[in-house]
Amino acid sequence: MDSAIWQQILGQDAKYNAYRMPSDPHFKTQYLRRRSQLLREKAKKPLDDTTVRTHYLKIRYKILNQKYGPVSEMSSLRSVSMKGSTTGLDRLGIVPEGKNPGTLSAHASVNNVIPTRQAEASRAMAGGKTIAENYSFTGVYHAFESSPGASATCVQFANDERSKLAFASSDGVLQIGELEPVAEVKVVFKGHRGEITDFAWSISNDLIVTSSKDTTLRLWDTSNGQCIRIIAEARITPIHCCAFHPLNNNFVVAGDGNGLINVYNISTGKATKGGSGKTGAAAVSLSFNSPGNILWVGDNKGTLHSFVYDLSGNKLRKGHQVTISAGHAITSIQSRSWINREARDPSVLVNVACNLLCLLRVTNNKGLVQLKKTFAIKQSSMRIRSVFCPLMSFRQGACVVTGSEDMTVSFFDVEKSSKSCVNRLFGHSAPVMDASFNYDESLLASCDAGGMVIVWRKDS
């Protein structure tokens, strides 16, 4: 079984993993690790008819789809006639900051976040709580610190893990911390000679890829902190962002200071043929959609670019570009299949360094976006990041969380047309750079420019 096939099989299992034993996160993690081990072993065995494995992949998808239902974003995409290249937000229906571009209707319009209000029983099963009650994080569970004098640049919980997280810092060090049974740093990764700008966990959490201002990508073994591979850019320029392909973790995409986007095969350390794109300005953020066929890249001049990713050949093809705010960097991109189980439109959340957090709706299969809503935050120059809340339910409302230069963590209800900030956490003494939920939303981690990583717990 070649690496592309078994990675896609593992990717399919990971997408549906949230539906397996929802009350037992340990089982879900162990399931993925065991699947990864078995698939790797199978890949080593020769097979006369290689089409058998491709056929297995298709059958596996059908079985999972029948058992758990579709999770792909593409089933909810609406085709549009809008074509082309550069588009401004004025053509996307931009509205004054903080205002809702659409009015909620009982009969779903394209701008709705919650199309209907007829799922009260389902919402009651989900807890019947308001958004503010669901996200009343106030208690500090634990606090980690990065190296003395270094700022914390980003933080992420591991996939389907309640208590394992990693955080990176400006001195080039990455650390993995465990919160249970005792909160402590378990693994320290050292090797970068410059700031770690971004990192990503693999599907089964056995690998982490990091990008750095020292012009390299590094692949790490999360069990012992060893560097497995170093990928250096041919041109001397910082690498600002990176991500594993969501269905095939043998491939990593990275964006650099010259605006070059490259797809790398981590087995060989080489860029794939045809797997490159250009943004025209420094690429500072990127994100895949969950099927892995659309890649969004944000540059430091305020333009959001989309690329179509060819899954069979790991090639990139230009999609669309939209100027969010000319001259202001897009510092964070997060994509989501849908906001909650009533709002099936795929969405993209972006931070723009002009005091703006934007929620965008994906309108076609090449990644074109339309403005859905904006939120006013404090961000003028720093690389602030935001995140969707991970749980999807029938509860009314949906939430996003962002860092801020005003030293707070802000929670926004994307459905509310006014007073959308439902919670704000005060505890950091420096600008908050990033935030991350664990898989069940029981814990939230945030990191700041002073080097502090705070893990918050929900009010009981």
Q: Of 30, 46, 71, at which residue does a domain stop?
A: 71
Of 22-36, 131-145, 445-459, give the range with the top mean pLDDT: 445-459
Tokens 């814990």 correspond to 443
pLDDT of residue 23: 59
pLDDT band at 17 (very low <50, low <70, confident <90, very high): low
Mean pLDDT of all residues belonging to the chain:
82
Helix (H/G/I), strand (E/B), else coil: 93: coil
Residues 150 and 222 in one domain: yes
pTM: 0.78
Whether residues 138 and 36 fall in one domain: no
- Please count the other Cβ atoms lying within 10 Å of the Cβ belonging to residue 21: 13
Residues 59 and 97 in one domain: no
Residue 171 C-alpha from the chain's centroid: 23
Residue 59 dihedral angles phi and psi, to the nearest 5°? -65, -40
pLDDT in the model for residue 120: 52
pLDDT digits (tens, 9 = 90+) for 330-380: 999 999 987 666 666 789 999 999 999 999 999 999 999 999 999 999 999
Structure tokens belonging to residue 16: 């549906």
Q: Answer yes or no: do 46 and 99 share one domain.
A: no
Torsion angle of the four alpha carbons 411, 408, 370, 287, in this order, in degrees rounded to the nearest 10:
-100
In a shared domain, residues 67 and 79: no
CA distance 356 to 338: 21
pLDDT of amino acid 400: 94
Same domain, 36 and 99: no
Name the DSSP class of 48. Answer: S
**Domain final residue, candidates 17, 37, 71:** 71
Q: How confident is the model at residue 76 (pLDDT cuts 50, 70, 90)?
A: very low
Residue-range definition of the domain harbouring residue 56: 3-71
Same domain, yes or no: 49 and 117: no
Do 62 and 108 lie in a common domain?
A: no
Q: 389 vs 116, which has greater pLDDT?
A: 389
Looking at the structure, tell me whether residues 265 and 297 fall in a common domain: yes
Specify the CATH number for the domain of residue 196: 2.130.10.10
Q: Is the pLDDT of residue 60 over 90?
A: no
In total, how many domains does the chain have? Answer: 2
Region 233-245 average pLDDT: 88
Q: Render pLDDT for 267-324 as a digit per residue (tens, 0 to 9).
A: 999 999 999 999 989 999 999 998 899 999 999 999 999 999 998 889 999 999 999 9
d(CA 303, CA 352): 10
Cα–Cα distance between 268 and 415 in angstroms, integer? Answer: 46
Spatial contact of 99 and 89, defined as CB atoms under 8 Å apart: no
Residue 175 shares a structural domain with residue 141: yes
The Cα–Cα gap between 96 and 214 comes to 39
Question: Residue 269 corresponds to which tokens in the numbers above?
Answer: 């350390």
In whole angstroms, how far apart are CA 450 and each of 134, 146, 153?
A: 29, 9, 10
CA 222 – CA 201 distance, rounded (Å): 9
User: Is residue 79 domain-shared with residue 54, that is, in the same domain?
Assistant: no
Looking up tokens 């299969």, which residue turns up?
365
- Cβ neighbors of 133 (< 8 A, separation 6 or more) are none
Average pLDDT over residues 428-456: 95
Check whether 82 has a pLDDT greater than 50. no
Longest CA–CA span in the chain (Å) reads 63
Q: Are residues 67 and 201 in the same domain?
A: no
Structure tokens at 57: 């992949």
- Domain limit, last residue, from 71, 97, 128: 71
